[in-house]
Amino acid sequence: MPHHEDWRGNTAGTPWMHRLLIASIRFVGMRPYYILVALFIAPVYMLVHHQACLAIWHYFRRQHGFSPWKTFRYTYLNHYRFGQIIIDRFAAYAGYKFKFEMEGFEQFRQLTRQPEGIIVLSSHTGNYEIAGYSLTSPEKRYHALVYSGEAKTVMANRSRLFAANNIKMIPIGDDLSHLIEMNNALSEGDIVSIPGDRIFGSPKCIRCDFLGGKASLPLGPFAMAVQRSVPVIAMFVMKHSLAHYKVYIKLLPTAPSQAAASRNTQTALLAQAFANELETILRIYPEQWFNYYEFWNDERNDREDIKSQ
């Protein structure tokens, strides 16, 4: 079962390194750092973090069916793209503004004008976080569930920029206080943003068909949506070019025929709908998948591993 403990995903570096990066981006821009990532940082990470690299190799080889050579190229591109996205986040801390192209934004705005709360499901693809530094929702407040183990410099800058856009962070706590905060936010008609692709805290999961295999998604976000009967949106913020992101906003279906179904059935259908939307995005942007651990664990992959031994 994939779990966030397998790969924490916190930003590397010390606070003074982060502050230096932010200051230097203000003077030289992002391009020199993109070149640094391409020539040195991405190759080094592929060598040093070989388990994470192998997980991404398996993702391209098994889930996308790429040839060995294409898999190697995309594994490198994945690490390079991830480095670019980290640089973009620090550029946002430095005051840089990115361009966003929106798909489905009008439907989202209509929902924000309604009294009920909304759950927005994010994923570890593209650069979801950066949208919070530039996009606002004046009608409702955002409450974003975040990993509390991030670097202090990153958390401080996140808090500063999020606050300017009416976004409040909810750190994941061992005492499960974040669940109370999320439920309170939904009761008040606000927006709650939750990762839909990584298991935090509770080990409860739900199995879905995803990119030709079976994957475990966290049960909590989908069960909460069904229990609260609130609209659910999948949002993907994908890097398109140097300073351009494309935002895909998809309202997940809740068909009237599901009303008579059990909550477990509704939860499973909702999770599968999210997995389907995530798969569609990754068919377009396969290199922007940033879960660096063995996400798929099914019999097909086990058989392939046995054959390769």
pLDDT value at residue 4: 45
CA angle (298 as vertex; 53, 279 as ends), nearest 5: 70
What span, in angstroms and rounded, lies between the C-alpha atoms of 236 and 124? 9
Place of tokens 């199995």: 207
Place of tokens 């890097």: 239
pLDDT value at residue 40: 96
DSSP assignment of the chain equals: ---GGG---PPPS-HHHHHHHHHHHHHH-SHHHHHHIIIIIHHHHHHHSHHHHHHHHHIIIIIS---HHHHHHHHHHHHHHHHHHHHHHHHHHTT---EEEEESHHHHHHHHTSSS-EEEEE-SBTTHHHHTTT---SSS-EEEEE-TTS-HHHHHHHHHHHHHTTEEEEE--TT-HHHHHHHHHHHTT-EEEEESSS--SS--EEEEEETTEEEEEEHHHHHHHHHHT--EEEEEEEEEETTEEEEEEEEPP--GGGGGS-HHHHHHHHHHHHHHHHHHHHHH-GGGB---S--B--HHHHHHHHHH-
Task: Please state the domain extents for the chain.
Answer: 4-308
Return left, alpha or beta for 199; rule: phi > 0 is left, psi -120 to 50 is alpha, else beta.
beta
pLDDT value at residue 291: 96
pLDDT value at residue 157: 73
Global pTM?
Answer: 0.89
pLDDT value at residue 269: 94
- Sign of the torsion formed by the C-alpha atoms of 209, 214, 215 and 219: positive
Mean pLDDT per 10-residue run, the chain (309 residues)?
Answer: 47 74 92 96 94 97 98 98 94 90 92 94 94 78 79 72 81 81 95 90 87 95 93 96 94 65 89 98 98 80 39
pLDDT value at residue 298: 60
pLDDT value at residue 9: 54
Nearest 10 degrees: CA dihedral of 286, 291, 293, 294?
Answer: -50
What span, in angstroms and rounded, lies between the C-alpha atoms of 36 and 66? 27
pLDDT value at residue 91: 92
